[in-house]
Structure 1
Amino acid sequence: MASQPNGAGFTRRTLLAGAGGVAAATLLAACSTGGSKSGSSGNASKPLKFWNMPWGPAAFLTEDKRIVAAYKPKSGFGNVTYQQIQWANFTQTFSTAVAANNGPAVSSGGGTTAFEFESQGKIAYADNLLNSWKSNGIYDDFLPGLVDTLKTSNGYAAVPYNLDMRLLWYRKDLMDKAGATVPTDWTSFEAACAKLKKIGVYGYGTRSGAGAFTGFHVLVSHMINNGGGLYGPDQKPNCVTPENIEAIDWVLGLVKNGYVDPRSATYTSQNFYDQISANKFGMAWDGAGAPASVSATAAPQLQVASPLTGPSGKKGALYFPNNIMMYKNTPSQAASEAFMTYYYQNMKTLWTKKTGIGLPPLKSIATAAYANDPISTKIINEWQPISKTWGAPGSNTVFLGVTKVDGTQPGIDFTQAVLAGKTTAKAALEKLQKSLESA
């Protein structure tokens, strides 16, 4: 798993999504042990294992290890050992270790990993921890609505850690050259695309080739932007709705009008960034770290638009609350919670030192890290509050069922069909619905 070395955000979540989808089959093979509100007790003086993922380049690992090494557990609690787990085969690494009760006491992982282990009764719910944070200021420091995205019917499966989002970027120089105005809704987006087309530039930059799941994320973002989404209140797929049909019809119209590069369905993420750098995409949909992935000439020209207003009059987008979870297999649940408290009180430097990790979950960290970064500040202030999880519109939570769409083949097939323009919105959504129901 790779991430971009800038403080603005983690951009390569697509591999995480793909691994998350595979994880469902791998992790659910382990037997279920039921659930409870807290982790099991053990020998509290034993070392507590913390496993973290490479959320950034070498600078992230260096700083993360420094933070953990500086932890001084109170009397009776053991030290914390640190291990970075690589994205390659991480689902097998976790599932094997957890099934054998030889895994971590605390870890991050894929965006849906906590819900896979929660379904097996392996997770120690974070309710007590979060309640304790109401007295020390951490709880109230979380960005709006973020904590509840990780709530299940039994308790909080994890704690928000870093965010990956889907945003509208534009090349200021190309927009100026075309005489285009930064769009505020779908109609003005089309108008900007029309002007960009006159100078040989595509207005709807996207991709859906090998390993590039962002194209599907963006289509779901449009559905959410119109008050739709993939799931109903019962957490079952509900794709064929008027809101979703209208959203996909809109994209099909963009394709028909030549505002979308005909090769987008085959573009990898690198192809996508190359097109931005080559002055071929005047507007593009991507994560918060897009400037770090394009050329040194293009990066300063990339600006973030404000969220668009959909035909329904609503604003919305898709985002991914990556998280940290606790496990029942721990030397001591109290020790796990003590370390978590320390870590969240001291993890600010992962952002202020620009180690490449995604957007922060805490308002205080965002304020400190982005004091001189108006783009990231705009993302936090304007995009995060209106963004929703895969569970929209039925709920704004993550749950086990979303592994069916998070980086899986049905979403790829759906996106490629839409970008090819050889389908209708209803037909594409009906096929997606059937694929999710049979997954």
Structure 2
Amino acid sequence: MTNSTSAASLTRRGFMAVTGGAAAATLLAACSASGGSNGKPIKFWNMPWGNVKFAPLDKKITLGYKPSGSLPAATYQSVQWANFTTTFSSAVASGTGPAVSSGSGTQAFQFAKQHKIAYADDLLDSWKKNGLYDDFLPGLIDTMKTPDGYVAVPYNLDMRVLWYRKALLEKAGVTPPTDWQSYLDACEALKKIGVYGFGIASGAQGNGFQVLVAMMINNGGGLFDADQKPNCVTEANLQTLDYVVELVKKGYMDPGSVGYSTNNAYSQWKAGRFAMGIEAPGLAQQVAGDVGPDMYVGDPLVSASGKKGTLSFPNNIMMYTNTPSQKGSEAFLTYYYKHMAPLWTQNTGPGLPVLKSIAATKEFQADANAAKMISVWQPVCKTWAAPGGAALFANVALVDSTPAMTTFAQSVLSLKATPKDALTTLQNTLTSQLK
């Protein structure tokens, strides 16, 4: 049970608001329904989070909603990832957008600044009475909290976890690492059999910057302070990047990784050139074939400072002020969360679940890697807001799949900048872009 492709995951998180007459991208899988205030339905727009089975089942669940009384029914639109920022910004600005939607992980925070989001406080209060609130995995709801209220509700999880190829580690005569030193030792043993232990892809279509931030969080660092301001040049971050530089200098990283896309990295995993790396939940499914069954999720590593942790992305569902009925939006979401389990139990691949009840199903538990991500990794996950806090905020869009982050990672992995210089440049760039 995993999310969809990592290539799409790069697009789905960085949300930059688009202004002025931008054309909307095509909306697919439209279906109409009547009912509600003046016959206007609750428009639910969702992204194609999983495989080809996801949208048809998601649409079926949505249209199965039978509202009570005069509350509106729901319609369904599947919004493609291509140009989705334009789709949403244009529709919301023109008043033709959805009443409820998913989108990028930072989208709700961006639209909240524009006063377009209907906060979820009343909805969450109602869920405290029906048990839904307590069904969420620990800490997830807090990631949506702002001084003005909860901007959204967690929906599915993406995170960066340690993967390894069991057969290659056995060939090298090592066990899966448990801390930074044993990771170095395993890399050295793998190098002797011609395999790279620090698998990473840091090209324009790669996620190397996410790996570096995940490692910073592992060591107690990150990019933002408690005031939600960039704070990159810290001892924890410097220590982390010194460790990364050691991995590179000792030849544990494929030199081509600086320019690799995620697809290039998949090819290296398949070819037996990568044996370990920090990657997305769907790695085994992306590699697939004969190699997929040899892919295992390791334990969170203990860092040089004695900490565990990684970067996670709590994708969410948000409500908008442009709705025929706020009570209707809340009633639909209550129905949807009570009925969305088949998206996971029928293997449609919409990321990792946010509800304990879904994670506990025998269908989900049948995937040992996915189950381990929830039981062992989720408790140590932190968002882009680390180390200053748990809740996301609008300015994390500055580091979420942006050119500045790709440049930062490439400068470190290519050894063209020292850790301090790379972090200082990033700090200056982010500070200059603050809104």
- Please give the range of the TM-score, normalised by the shorter of the 2 chains: over 0.9
Q: CA deviation at 1:24?
A: 2.6
Q: Secondary structure at the match of 2:214?
A: helix
Q: Indicate yes or no: 2:241 matched with 1:248.
A: yes
360, 370, 388: which one pairs with 1:367?
360
- Tell me if structure 1 keeps the 8 A contact 2:17–2:110: no
Alignment partner for residue 324 of structure 1, among 303, 317, 323?
A: 317
For 1:25-424, what aligned pairs fall within 5 Å after superposition? 25-26=17-18, 43=37, 45-212=39-206, 214-368=207-361, 369-424=363-418
Classify the secondary structure of the residue corresponding to 1:338. helix
Give 1:28 deviation, angstroms: 10
Hey, what's the Cα distance between the residues in 2 that align with 1:268 and 1:24? Answer: 22
TM-score in terms of structure 1 length: 0.93
- The letter of the residue matching 2:264 is N
Taking structure 2 as the reference length, what is the TM-score of the superposition? 0.94
| Corresponding letter in the other structure for 1:55 | W
**Deviation of residue 101 (structure 1)?**
1.2
What's the CA shift string for 1:203-257, capped at 9, x where partnerless?
A: 0000011321x21111001111111100000101000000000000100000000
Deviations 1:275-316 (A, max 9, x none): 000010110211111011114111111101110011111111
User: Hey, what's the Cα distance between the residues in 2 that align with 1:315 and 1:28?
Assistant: 44
Amino acid at match of 2:389: S
Q: What secondary structure, in the 3-state scheme, does the structure 2 residue paired with 1:134 have?
A: helix
Q: Report the equivalent of 1:433.
A: 427
Superposition deviation, residue 180 in structure 1:
1.2
Q: For structure 1, which segment, 417-426 or 383-392, has the greater mean C-alpha deviation from structure 2 after superposition?
A: 417-426
SS in 2 for 1:135: helix
CA-CA distance at 1:397 after TM superposition: 1.4
Q: What is the percent sequence identity of the aligned residues?
A: 55
Tell me which residue corresponds to 1:37.
none
CA 1:164–1:134 in 2, change beyond 3 Å: closer, same or farther?
same
Q: Which 10-residue stretch deviates more, 364-373 or 199-208?
A: 364-373
- My pick for the range that moved more, 290-299 or 240-249, is 290-299
- Unpaired runs of 5+ in structure 1? 1-6, 31-41
Does the residue aligned with 1:325 lie in a helix, a strand or coil?
A: strand
> Could you report, residue by residue, the CA deviation over 1:115-174 in whole angstroms, capped at 9, with x for unpaired residues?
110000000000000011011111001011000001111000000001111010000000
RMSD over aligned CA atoms reads 1.6
User: C-alpha distance in 2, partners of 1:28/1:174?
Assistant: 53
Q: Secondary structure at the match of 2:43?
A: strand
SS in structure 1 of the partner of residue 158 of structure 2: strand
SS in 1 for 2:387: coil
1:16 Cα shift? 4.7
CA contact (8 A) 1:44 1:78 kept: no
- Aligned-residue offset at 1:373: 1.9
How many angstroms does 1:363 deviate by?
Answer: 0.6
Q: 2:52 is matched by which residue type in structure 1?
A: A
What is the CA deviation profile of residues 258-291 of structure 1, one whole-angstrom value per residue up to 9, with x for unaligned ones? 0000000111111100000001011021111101
* C-alpha contact (below 8 Å) 2:162/2:277 kept by paired residues: yes
Amino acid at match of 2:384: W
Could you tell me how far apart the structure 1 residues matched to 2:395 and 2:57 are?
34
Partners of 1:260 and 1:71 in 2: CA distance: 51
Question: Shift of the alpha carbon at 1:58?
Answer: 2.1
For residues 138 and 385 of structure 2, what CA distance do their matches in structure 1 show?
A: 17
Q: Give the whole-Å Cα distance in 2 for the aligned partners of 1:68 and 1:26.
A: 28
SS of 2:348 mapped into structure 1: coil
Tell me the SS of whatever aligns to 1:383. helix
2:123 match: secondary structure: helix
SS in 2 for 1:182: coil
Decide whether the 8 Å contact of 1:46 with 1:77 is kept in 2: no
- Please tell me whether the aligned partners of residues 150 and 158 of structure 1 are also in contact (alpha carbons under 8 angstroms): yes
Alignment partners' CA distance in 1, 2:226 and 2:100: 31
Distance across 2 between alignment mates of 1:17 and 1:238: 23
Once residues 418 and 328 of structure 1 are traced to their aligned partners in structure 2, the CA distance between those partners, rounded to angstroms, is: 43
- Give the C-alpha shift of residue 424 in structure 1: 1.2
Once structures 1 and 2 are overlaid, which stretch shifts more, 293-302 or 172-181? Answer: 293-302
Query: Alpha carbons of 1:228 and 1:131: their partners in 2 closer, same or farther (altered >3 Å)?
Result: same
**How many angstroms does 1:15 deviate by?**
4.3
1:408 shift after superposition: 0.4
2:415 and 2:195 map into 1 onto residues whose CA distance is 19
The verdict on how the C-alpha distance between 1:191 and 1:416 changes in structure 2, with shifts beyond 3 A counting, is same
The number of equivalent residue pairs is 419
